[in-house]
């Protein structure tokens, strides 16, 4: 793969995605050894530029980079600060002067990582930009899915929740479709876009969606902090209509349907407690696979090359 | 000035037949039009294959002086207009400070008297600071020549404020221009609500928000007995609403920008901020409905919504970058390239919508190519071409989708009165 940046899933080919997923396999094997480190990125610098609070993704990238022997720096962006447009270009110039090899960026502005990628020689990895993309989440989801279903073509995944505002839903939908998985969406009317990619089924009724017989039900996190604008009347009503309730869990168990969730879960909203102990819940596997997938991305990108995935 | 243009094609508003003749201009007046004229003109130009148009008139221009002169000044903006074949314009009130009182109108008039070689009208704001609450100093501005009030690039969100403004100012002889949008549905994002906004993860502006406001503002104007001019219509249903109100006899006019005629939301591609405009680019069907509306007279006016911004601002991410693109220098040439040369728009309709109609609305003397008329004309070369490189712009800004592109057509000569503005 000759690619400087990873900005989204849309611009990746199926072959590139599978190359990345294949690359993650030996990295995951590494985790069972006593020394979990390889010297692949020795002497390289990785800069974490997180403008949005994140513990899980930030730690995952940090562990991934360290297991590749890279030096990791966390650029100190106060969590409270809203990045002013004026300062972004100046920040990029500063970063360029630091000559880091990789910049991992998370920001609330959709499209911002592409601007940084355009202005710097470093490899830019999008760790989530606004509602646009979260490509490493999609890769770890794809990796997890493929571990369970090595033949991905024709399999089915149902993504449930706030599709509209979710960069995870966008990227994971794109990736799953690219590896031949059929995708359907389920959620409250205002949160399931009518202008999604052609071929994605749109459900607003749980029973109808389950009748479609998905192999995996992927529950999105309900963003509590987004409840200032009302898209559904209450969390209680959300759980009843779209959540995996105790009654619905029985059906899922009977069907042997797998459960995924990007975390962190809201118990009693997206799912009932019992799901967390379900043998076919892949939620913790996703976290572990996230490190392997991110190692594969860091390992595969080519900093300072002229090819630009933004184009 | 003394000039003879030989064997040129003459295009006027409302004249569909093509007239091929010699045109003699003497001392700022078209002295004679005829075949094989023998004149004492000092300069002779071969007009064969070229088109002589009335000077264009742009009734929707954002000059940034006072307040943001790095983007545009009255001098640079009016020179950009001339470069694009435009011989008169109306500047919008969203300068800093806002044009909401006689004092600021007076200041701008003084600057324009020094710096502009073309007539410049000033639109006043409807409300103070364009804040949508208190009425601007309407009568003071009127006495200094203001004819049109608008809060562009914002709507007056509260209908009761707009209704009162219309009831008051229409009695003083002013008319209104509306930037139509419903703020509660707009989310301040200049991207259409649809496929592209979903892909890019940006909350879009639905077409219905603009359409509701078009209907609302025409209804308010009807109630108040005012004339309302709907600015930069962008949707097919918007055109249809105006068509229906015109059929009912409402006092309404409407404009469309070249970019809404030419581009759709898919042009934004991977966050290209040179396609970030407000109202946003819509769908291909909307472009076609807008062109049909222009051709059947539902839309009276072409106006550019010339909105200069610095490269620094436009190089930011799509959400942060400001709305708008420049249009004064690209409008006539791109309209020729995309529509006239393709047979989709006649020279006559172009002359009507980009010269005669806006001049009439703004109370300006018409620009007509006829004997005895004041010279106000543009010589256009359809066989020529124009490259929109940064160095070729007179504008202080270059935020346009046409940057570094070469289009068919060239503005060769611009004459206003006894002055050759562009040679």
Q: Is residue A50 a contact partner of residue A91, using CB atoms and an 8 Å limit?
A: no
Q: ipTM of the predicted structure?
A: 0.90
| B66 falls within a domain | no
Architecture of the structural domain at A14-133+288-300: 3-Layer(aba) Sandwich (3.40)
> Are B341 and B308 in a shared domain?
yes
> Are B47 and B185 in a shared domain?
no
Q: Which residue of A has its CA nearest to B193?
A: A195
Burial category of A80 from C-beta neighbours within 10 Å (exposed 0-12, middle 13-18, buried 19 and up): exposed
Architecture of the structural domain at A136-286: 3-Layer(aba) Sandwich (3.40)
The full 3-state SS of B256-309, as one line of letters, equals ECHHHHHCCHHHHCCCCHHHCCCCCCCCHHHHHHHHHHHHCCCCCEECCCECCC
Instruction: Give the minimum alpha-carbon distance from A93 to chain B in angstroms, rounded to a whole number.
Output: 13
Instruction: Give the minimum alpha-carbon distance from B209 to chain A in angstroms, rounded to a whole number.
Output: 16
Q: Which residue of B has its CA nearest to A309?
A: B270
Q: Given this model, what pLDDT does residue A226 score?
A: 63
Question: Under an 8 A CB cutoff, do A132 and B197 touch?
Answer: no
Rg over alpha carbons for chain A, rounded to the nearest Å, is: 19
Residue among A110, A124, A194, A226 with most chain B CBs within 10 A, to mutate: A110
> What is the CATH classification number for the domain harbouring B170?
3.20.20.140
Residue among B200, B274, B315, B322 with most chain A CBs within 10 A, to mutate: B200
B305 is catalytic: yes
Q: Which residue of B has its CA nearest to A131?
A: B201
| B155 falls within a domain | yes
Q: Which residue of A has its CA nearest to B192?
A: A195
Please name which of B274, B253, B254, B255 lies closest in space to residue B263, comparing C-alpha atoms: B274
Q: How confident is the model at residue A140 (pLDDT cuts 50, 70, 90)?
A: very high
**Which residues of A contribute to the annotated binding site for carbamoyl phosphate?**
56-57, 106, 134, 137, 263-264
Q: What is the dihedral of CA B171, B176, B180, B184, to 10 degrees?
A: -50
A136-286 and A14-133+288-300 share a CATH fold: yes
| B357 falls within a domain | yes
**Which residues of A contribute to the annotated binding site for L-aspartate?**
84, 167, 221
**Residue A214 reports pLDDT greater than 70:** yes
| B169 falls within a domain | yes
Question: Under an 8 A CB cutoff, do B317 and A195 touch?
Answer: no
Q: Given this model, what pLDDT does residue A305 score?
A: 54
CB within 8 A of B120, min separation 6: which ones?
A: B74, B78, B88, B89, B90, B91, B112
Host domain of residue B205? 71-361
> Are B216 and B354 in a shared domain?
yes
Q: Which two tokens stand for residue B204?
A: 């879009």
Burial category of A171 from C-beta neighbours within 10 Å (exposed 0-12, middle 13-18, buried 19 and up): buried
What H or E segment, with its residue span, contains residue A3?
none
> Are B175 and B236 in a shared domain?
yes
Chain A residues lying within 8 Å of B270, measured CB to CB:
111, 114, 310-311
CB within 8 A of B62, min separation 6: which ones?
A: B72, B91, B92, B94, B153, B305, B306, B307, B308, B324
| B58 falls within a domain | no
Q: Give Cα B100 to chain centroid, integer Å.
A: 21
> Are B136 and B248 in a shared domain?
yes
Give the number of domains in chain B.
2
What does each C-alpha distance from A187 to A13, A128, B4, B22, B153 come to in angstroms? Answer: 29, 22, 72, 70, 36
Residues of B with CB under 8 A from a CB of A: 193-195, 197-203, 270-271, 312-313, 315-321
In terms of pLDDT, which residue wins out, A223 or B322? B322
Strands B376-387 and B406-416: antiparallel
| B242 falls within a domain | yes
**Residue extents of the structural domains in chain A:** 14-133+288-300, 136-286
Catalytic residue (choose from B305, B337, B381, B404): B305
A196 touches chain B (CB under 8 A): yes
Question: Under an 8 A CB cutoff, do A115 and B315 touch?
Answer: yes
Question: pLDDT averaged over consecutive 10-residue blocks of chain B (423 residues)?
Answer: 95 87 96 95 96 98 97 98 98 98 98 98 98 97 98 97 98 98 84 95 95 98 98 98 98 98 97 97 98 98 98 90 97 98 97 98 96 97 97 97 98 97 94
> What is the CATH classification number for the domain harbouring B397?
2.30.40.10
pTM score, whole prediction: 0.93
Q: Given this model, what pLDDT does residue A310 score?
A: 42
What sign for the dihedral angle of Cα B88, B89, B90, B94?
A: negative
Instruction: Give the minimum alpha-carbon distance from B189 to chain A in angstroms, rounded to a whole number.
Output: 12
């Amino acid at each position: 793969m000759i690619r400087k940046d990873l900005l989204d899933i849309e611009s990746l080919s199926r072959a590139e995605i599978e190359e990345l997923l294949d690359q993650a396999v030996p990295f995951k094997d590494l985790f069972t050894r006593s020394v979990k480190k390889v010297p692949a990125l020795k002497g390289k610098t990785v800069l974490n530029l997180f403008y949005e609070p994140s513990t899980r993704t930030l730690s995952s990238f940090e562990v991934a980079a360290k297991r590749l022997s890279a030096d990791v720096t966390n650029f100190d962006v106060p969590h409270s600060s809203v990045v002013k447009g004026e300062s972004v270009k100046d920040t990029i110039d500063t970063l360029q002067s630091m000559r880091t090899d990789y910049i991992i960026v998370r920001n609330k502005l959709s499209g911002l990582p592409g601007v940084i990628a355009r202005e710097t020689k470093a490899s830019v990895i999008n760790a989530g930009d606004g509602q646009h993309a979260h490509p490493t989440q999609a890769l770890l989801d794809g990796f997890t899915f493929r571990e369970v279903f090595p033949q991905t073509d024709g399999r089915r995944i149902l993504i449930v929740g706030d599709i509209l505002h979710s960069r995870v839903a966008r990227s994971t939908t794109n990736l799953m479709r690219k590896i031949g998985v059929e995708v359907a969406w389920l959620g409250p009317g205002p949160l399931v876009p009518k202008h999604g990619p052609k071929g994605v089924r749109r459900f607003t009724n749980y029973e109808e969606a389950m009748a479609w017989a998905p192999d995996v039900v992927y529950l999105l996190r309900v963003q509590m902090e987004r409840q200032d604008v009302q898209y559904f009347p209450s969390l209680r009503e959300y759980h009843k209509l779209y959540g995996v309730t105790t009654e619905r869990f029985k059906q899922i168990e009977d069907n042997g349907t797998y459960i995924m969730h990007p975390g962190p879960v809201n118990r009693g909203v997206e799912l009932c407690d019992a799901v967390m102990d379900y043998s076919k819940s892949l939620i913790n596997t996703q976290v572990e696979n996230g490190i392997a997938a991110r190692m594969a991305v860091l390992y595969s990108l080519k900093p300072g090359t002229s090819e630009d995935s933004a184009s | 000035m003394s000039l003879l243009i030989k064997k040129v094609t003459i295009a006027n508003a409302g004249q569909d037949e093509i007239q091929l003749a010699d045109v003699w201009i003497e001392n700022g007046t078209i002295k004679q039009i005829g075949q094989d004229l023998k004149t004492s003109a000092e300069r002779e130009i071969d007009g064969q294959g070229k088109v002589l148009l009335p000077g264009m008139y742009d009734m929707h221009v954002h000059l940034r002086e006072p307040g943001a002169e790095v983007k545009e000044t009255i001098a640079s903006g009016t020179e950009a207009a001339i470069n694009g074949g435009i011989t008169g314009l109306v500047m919008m009130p969203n300068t800093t400070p806002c044009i909401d009182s006689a004092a600021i109108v007076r200041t701008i008039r003084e600057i324009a008297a020094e710096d502009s070689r073309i007539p410049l009208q000033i639109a006043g704001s409807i409300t103070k600071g364009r804040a949508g609450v208190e009425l601007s100093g309407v009568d003071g501005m009127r006495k200094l020549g203001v004819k049109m009030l608008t809060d562009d690039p914002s709507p007056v969100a509260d209908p009761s404020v707009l209704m009162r403004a219309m009831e008051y100012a229409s009695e003083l002889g002013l008319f209104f221009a509306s930037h139509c949008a419903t703020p509660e549905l707009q989310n301040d994002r200049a991207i259409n609500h649809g496929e592209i906004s979903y892909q890019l993860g940006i909350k879009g502006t639905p077409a219905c928000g603009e359409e509701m406001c078009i209907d609302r503002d025409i209804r308010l104007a009807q109630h108040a007995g005012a004339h309302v001019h709907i600015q930069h219509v962008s949707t097919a249903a918007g055109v249809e609403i105006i068509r229906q109100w015109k059929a009912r006899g409402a006092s309404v006019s409407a404009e469309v920008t070249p970019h809404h005629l030419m581009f759709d939301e898919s042009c934004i591609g991977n966050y290209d901020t040179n396609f970030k405009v407000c109202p946003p680019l819509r769908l291909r069907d909307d472009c076609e409905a807008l062109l049909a509306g222009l051709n059947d007279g539902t839309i009276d006016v072409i106006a550019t919504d010339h909105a200069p911004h610095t490269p620094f601002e436009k190089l930011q991410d799509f959400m942060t970058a400001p709305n708008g693109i420049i249009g004064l220098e690209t409008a006539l040439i791109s309209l020729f390239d995309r529509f006239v040369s393709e047979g989709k728009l006649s020279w006559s309709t172009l002359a009507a919508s980009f010269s005669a109609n806006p001049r009439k609305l703004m109370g300006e003397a018409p620009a007509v190519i006829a004997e005895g008329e004041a010279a106000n004309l543009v010589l256009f070369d359809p066989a020529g071409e124009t490259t929109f490189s940064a160095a070729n712009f007179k504008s202080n800004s270059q935020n346009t989708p046409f940057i570094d592109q070469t289009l068919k057509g060239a503005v060769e000569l611009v004459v206003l009165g006894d002055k050759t503005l562009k040679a």
